[in-house]
């Protein structure tokens, strides 16, 4: 591969998978890092020859824009890294924090660069609804065998209704009117397209009676509103939808940190059987230490809101570094030992 200037950008490389073979040969001749940037879908089109880049290509998952990036604060230390300090002092008070309506507006806006940067509210809504439609119609062609776009659309809607939840598999595939095997195929497709993620349950020998089921998330909160065709007013009428949308939004702001944080965080959740205790995110760091996060669609918190995190802290001992109850109020404050109440805007402030 003769080139005159590097690095070389190869966009949508998966459309011509043989490009990977050419890059591989070029890297074997000169292994200097950073010579090629290959962007596009993480999976080559089905039915075409695949080329392995193992040992030659480092894969980085690119998610949507975070609020911090969209307001020019993308270079600051991430939220997870700051929380790992175990001090509330690294979370300053925001001079102009959003209120509940403001956070819902941010969640509906989402992180797709085209929709965030170039489109107004009305055009953005049309763009997002069109995105969902194409997702559930055009991408059907990538699956083997006859697939119903209508069923795929219903299944995606069922996932959106249950985003940030740990519903039983049967609950979701029954709601969509598909079989268990079909549901597995659909979830795999949406995961490959990076619009869906399943966060596993956390396991620890000291803890018993924990459910083993995953917690499902739509990766961009704007797709929840678009798929369900709900606007700000409709969301505000449903406390369940508010909670799910804000939970989905908060996790979408944290997810990119798994790619760049030096702490190499891994995401889990905790839910006891019968739902007696539940923690939205348990974050395990590379040194084995633990952070806990709960997300509340409330601006008025008390020490009682930290009881599940306190239970985790007392159960696992020194491995617990800090916990945060993320809320819609205006300021950070201490709830109990190593557990802080932090506004959602602390994710980017």
List, for residues 218-253, the tens digit of each pLDDT value. 999 999 999 999 999 999 999 999 999 999 999 999
- 262-272 per-position pLDDT tens digit: 999 999 999 88
Averaged confidence pLDDT in the chain: 88
Using CA atoms in the order 98, 102, 103, 107, what is the torsion angle rounded to 10 degrees?
A: -140
What's residue 314's pLDDT? Answer: 95
DSSP 22: H
For Cα atoms 251, 254, 256, give the angle at the middle one, nearest 5 degrees: 120
Q: Which of 123-137, 174-188, 203-217 has the lowest mean pLDDT?
A: 203-217
Q: Which long-range contacts (CB under 8 A, 24 or more apart) does 45-52 make?
A: 45/14, 45/15, 45/17, 45/142, 46/142, 46/143, 46/144, 48/17, 49/17, 49/18, 50/17, 50/20, 51/17, 51/18, 51/19, 51/20, 51/21, 51/24, 52/20, 52/24
Q: Residue 269 and residue 90: Cα distance in Å, rounded?
A: 25
- 116-128 per-position pLDDT tens digit: 999 998 899 999 9
Please report which confidence band the pLDDT of residue 146 belongs to, taking 50, 70 and 90 as the band edges.
low
pTM over 0.75: yes
- Please choose, from the candidates 26, 20, 24, the residue with its C-alpha nearest in 3D space to the C-alpha of residue 1: 26
According to DSSP H, which parts of 166-238 are helical? Answer: 169-176, 180-192, 221-228, 232-236
What's residue 33's pLDDT? Answer: 84
What's residue 71's pLDDT? Answer: 80
- 43-52 per-position pLDDT tens digit: 544 445 556 6
Burial of 260 (0-12, 13-18, 19+ CB in 10 A): exposed
> Rounded to whole angstroms, what are the CA distances from 287 to 189, 202, 262, 264, 291?
33, 16, 11, 9, 12
- 65-110 per-position pLDDT tens digit: 999 988 877 667 799 999 999 999 999 988 899 999 999 999 999 9
pLDDT at 282 exceeding the cut of 80: yes
What's residue 77's pLDDT? Answer: 78
Per DSSP, what are the bridge partners of residue 37? Answer: 9
Please report which confidence band the pLDDT of residue 18 belongs to, taking 50, 70 and 90 as the band edges.
confident
Length of the chain: 349
Q: Residue 222 and residue 76: Cα distance in Å, rounded?
A: 24
DSSP 337: T
């Amino acid at each position: 591969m003769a080139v005159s200037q590097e690095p070389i950008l190869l966009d949508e490389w998966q459309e011509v998978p043989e490009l990977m073979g050419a890059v591989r040969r070029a890297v074997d001749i000169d292994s200097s890092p950073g010579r090629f940037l290959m962007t596009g879908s993480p999976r080559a089109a089905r039915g075409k020859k695949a080329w392995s880049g193992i040992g030659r290509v480092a894969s980085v998952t690119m998610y949507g824009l975070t609020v911090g990036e969209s307001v020019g604060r993308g270079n600051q230390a991430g939220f997870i890294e700051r929380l790992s300090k175990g001090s509330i002092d690294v979370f300053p008070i925001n001079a102009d924090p959003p209120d509940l309506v403001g956070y819902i507006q941010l969640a509906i806006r989402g992180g797709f660069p085209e929709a965030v940067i170039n489109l107004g509210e009305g055009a953005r809504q049309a763009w997002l609804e069109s995105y969902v439609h194409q997702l559930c119609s055009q991408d059907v062609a990538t699956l083997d065998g006859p697939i119903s776009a209508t069923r795929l659309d219903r299944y995606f809607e069922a996932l959106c209704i249950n985003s940030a939840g740990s519903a039983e598999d049967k609950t979701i595939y029954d709601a969509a009117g598909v079989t268990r095997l079909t549901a597995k195929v659909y979830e795999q497709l949406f995961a490959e397209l990076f619009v869906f993620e399943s966060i596993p349950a956390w396991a620890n020998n000291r803890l018993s009676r924990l459910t083993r089921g995953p917690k499902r998330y739509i990766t961009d909160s704007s797709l929840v509103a678009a798929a369900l065709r709900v606007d700000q007013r409709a969301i505000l009428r449903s406390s369940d939808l508010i909670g799910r949308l804000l939970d989905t939004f908060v996790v979408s702001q944290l997810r990119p940190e798994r790619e760049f944080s030096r702490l190499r965080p891994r995401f889990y959740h905790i839910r006891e059987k019968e739902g007696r205790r539940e923690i939205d995110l348990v974050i395990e760091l590379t040194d084995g230490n633990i952070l806990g996060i709960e997300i509340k669609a409330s601006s008025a918190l008390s020490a009682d809101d930290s009881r599940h995190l306190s239970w985790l802290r007392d159960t696992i001992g020194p491995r617990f570094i800090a916990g945060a109850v993320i809320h819609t109020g205006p300021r950070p404050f201490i709830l109990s030992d190593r557990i802080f109440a932090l506004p959602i805007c602390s994710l980017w402030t």
